């Protein structure tokens, strides 16, 4: 079965160009992309991941709210019993925050200019198979 | 899998989600079929939404979802989008238009329909069974933006809603055979646009010609939130399709599924008597009615 990934933007950030480009690249790489779109709350995103039984969650933030919203979301994921879901973050993330996001439980941060192939290769690496 | 069944019985949402994944992946061991076959007295209404891509199926479902929640009804949505014939990938974007938030009374699963398989993902009948058992009051089934001949949805739903939009074709368009004939309700969507009234009149005229006068035509604008209340009341109160044709199709669809699933179970655990029965059905050496009766009796687990 193709890998299932939820892509979402949390908070009031209205810039969805980047996440749509990533969505297209993952689709073309044979993945099933569940596009949750703009203006999602952390609670709604966790619910989406749960209902969609996704393997991965990709978050895009360009608003600077990542240190407020992402750790909260990861904690909500864990408390919903979704420990197996791995979280990617993309967007404008200052270097100093990358380690903090990793410490909060984010698997990988992809900054601006990341080649799309790099994201696809990361998701397809051995050991990243579906949990079922 | 059995641990998930136990959690499902405890009304664990993650168990429902995982069982839907098993179904989607074609993992249907006999214990799953038996689990889903357990009787449920939960009355549930399955409403299907079909129509061309871009006509507004997801948006309309999103609007009706709000009305359903206002009445406290629990709603599950199975939303199909197409899978790429080239990469096998899919962009499943229907839930984006259904603002469900983190509402416990709403469950949305996005499904990819393989290319060439028509407008629906596979194994929907089993998914509907799982959602029914979980206790939803309503199941909305959204097809892939479908063509003119995608009629399979009929066997799965109690009510089929076909969406069309203004200026979608001249009056000859409505005379063509196919999806138009299986609709129970027709929505002229985007009715805030010019031409909606004319399109509705053409659709009405065509339906009356083909003796489908019981099919109502609604003009609805999800954008302006107009016409939704009347449509909603009709969808809730319309008796499930009971014309001989509709009932026959529905029963045949369910029977085919049931027989197929039982067969899958039997291949693991041979039942020679049943297999001989199906073999004689295949050879047509007895009338269909006679065989069907035997098959039904056999499936019901009683000797004739």
Contact B109 A24 (CB under 8 A): no
The residues, ordered by sequence, that sit 6+ positions from A92 with a Cβ below 8 Å of its Cβ are A61, A62, A64, A111, A112
CB B95 to CB A29 under 8 A?
A: no
Higher-scoring residue by pLDDT: A10, B247: A10
- Find the mean pLDDT for residues A103-109: 96
CB contact residues (below 8 A), chain A span 80-99, against chain B: 80-82
Mutation pick from B77, B110, B122 vs chain A, by most beta carbons of A within 10 Å, is B110
In B, which residues are within 8 Å of A50 by CB distance? 13-14, 17
pLDDT above 90 for A109 = yes
Cα separation, B177 vs A61, whole angstroms: 48
CA distances from B125 to B24, B139, B202 (A): 11, 12, 34
Buried b (16+ CB within 10 A) or exposed e, A48-57: bbbbbbbbbb
Q: Determine the distance in angstroms separating the CA of B301 from the nearest CA of chain A, rounded to an integer.
A: 33
% of chain A surpassing 70 pLDDT: 95
Rounded to 5°, the CA angle B161-B165-B170 comes to 115
Is B114 in CB contact (< 8 Å) with chain A? no
**Nearest-angstrom CA–CA distance, B189 and B219:** 6
Picking from A7, A47, A77 by the largest number of B CB atoms within 10 A of its own CB, the best residue to mutate is A47
Nearest residue on chain B to A3, alpha-carbon basis? B89
- Ranges of residues in chain B whose predicted pLDDT is under 50: 243-249, 304
Q: A131 and chain B: CB distance < 8 Å anywhere?
A: no
Question: How many CB atoms are located within 10 Å of the residue A32 CB?
Answer: 26
For residue B32, the model assigns a pLDDT of 86
pLDDT computed for residue B155 by the predictor: 75
**Whether complex ipTM tops 0.85:** yes
User: What is the SS3 assignment for B59?
Assistant: helix
- Count of CB atoms situated within 10 Å of the CB of B60: 26
Q: CB contact, 8 Å: A6 with chain B? A: no
Nearby residues of B92 by Cβ (< 8 Å), 6 or more positions away: A32, A33, A34, A35, B79, B81, B110, B111, B112
- Residues of chain A with C-beta less than 8 angstroms from the C-beta of B100: 44, 47
Q: Which of B92, B100, B101 sits opposite A34 (nearest CB)?
A: B92
Q: Would you state the pLDDT for residue B266?
A: 61
With CA atoms as reference, the chain A residue closest to B104 would be A47
- Chain B residues in contact with A48 by the CB 8 A cut-off are 95, 108
Binary contact (B14, A82; C-beta < 8 A): yes
A132 touches chain B (CB under 8 A): yes
- State residue B149's pLDDT score: 55
Give the pLDDT confidence score for residue B246 in this predicted structure: 43
Q: With a CB-CB cutoff of 8 Å, which residues 60-89 of chain B face chain A?
A: 83-84, 87-89
CB-CB under 8 Å, B108 with A80: no
Query: What span, in angstroms and rounded, lies between the C-alpha atoms of B60 and B221?
Result: 8
Return all residues near B292 (Cβ < 8 A) that are at least 6 apart.
Answer: B255
Q: What is the pTM of this model?
A: 0.83
Q: What is the pLDDT of residues A29-83, one digit of tens each?
A: 999 999 998 899 999 999 999 999 999 999 999 999 999 999 999 999 999 999 9
């Amino acid at each position: 079965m193709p890998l299932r990934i939820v892509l979402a933007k949390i908070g009031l950030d209205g810039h969805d160009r980047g996440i749509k480009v990533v969505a297209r690249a993952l689709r073309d790489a044979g993945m099933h992309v569940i596009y949750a779109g703009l203006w999602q709350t952390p609670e709604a995103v966790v619910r989406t991941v749960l209902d969609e039984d996704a393997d991965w969650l990709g978050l895009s933030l360009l608003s600077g709210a990542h240190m407020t919203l992402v750790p909260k979301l990861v904690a909500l994921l864990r408390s919903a019993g979704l420990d197996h879901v791995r979280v990617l973050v993309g967007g404008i993330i200052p270097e100093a925050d990358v380690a903090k996001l990793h410490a909060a439980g984010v698997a990988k941060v992809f900054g601006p200019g990341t080649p799309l192939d790099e994201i696809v290769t990361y998701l397809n690496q051995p050991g990243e198979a579906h949990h079922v | 899998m059995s641990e998930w069944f136990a959690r499902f019985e405890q009304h664990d949402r993650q168990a429902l989600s995982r069982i839907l994944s098993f179904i989607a992946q074609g993992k249907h061991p006999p214990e799953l079929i038996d689990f889903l076959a357990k009787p449920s007295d939960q009355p549930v209404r399955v409403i299907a939404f079909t129509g061309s891509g871009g006509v507004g199926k997801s948006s309309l479902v999103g609007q009706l979802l709000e009305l359903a929640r206002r009445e406290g009804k629990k709603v599950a949505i199975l939303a199909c989008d197409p899978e790429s014939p080239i990469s096998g990938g899919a962009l499943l974007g229907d839930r984006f238009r259904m603002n469900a938030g983190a509402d416990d009374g709403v469950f949305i699963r996005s499904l990819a329909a393989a290319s060439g398989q028509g407008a629906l993902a596979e194994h929907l009948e089993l998914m509907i069974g799982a959602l029914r058992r979980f206790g939803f009051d309503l199941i909305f089934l959204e097809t892939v933006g479908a063509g003119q001949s995608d009629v399979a949805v009929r066997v799965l739903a109690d009510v089929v809603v076909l969406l069309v939009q203004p200026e979608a074709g001249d009056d000859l368009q409505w005379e063509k055979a196919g999806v138009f004939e299986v609709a129970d309700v027709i929505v002229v969507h985007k009715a805030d646009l010019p031409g909606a009234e004319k399109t509705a009149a053409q659709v009405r005229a065509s339906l009356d010609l083909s003796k489908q006068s019981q099919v109502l035509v609604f003009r609805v604008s999800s954008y302006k939130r107009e016409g939704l209340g009347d449509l909603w009341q009709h969808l809730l109160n319309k008796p499930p399709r009971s014309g001989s044709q509709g009932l026959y199709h529905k029963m045949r669809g369910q029977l085919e599924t049931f027989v197929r699933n039982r067969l899958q179970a039997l291949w693991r655990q041979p039942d020679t008597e049943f297999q001989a029965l199906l073999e004689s059905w295949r050879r047509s050496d007895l009338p269909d009615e006679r065989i069907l009766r035997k098959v039904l009796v056999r499936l019901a687990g009683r000797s004739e």
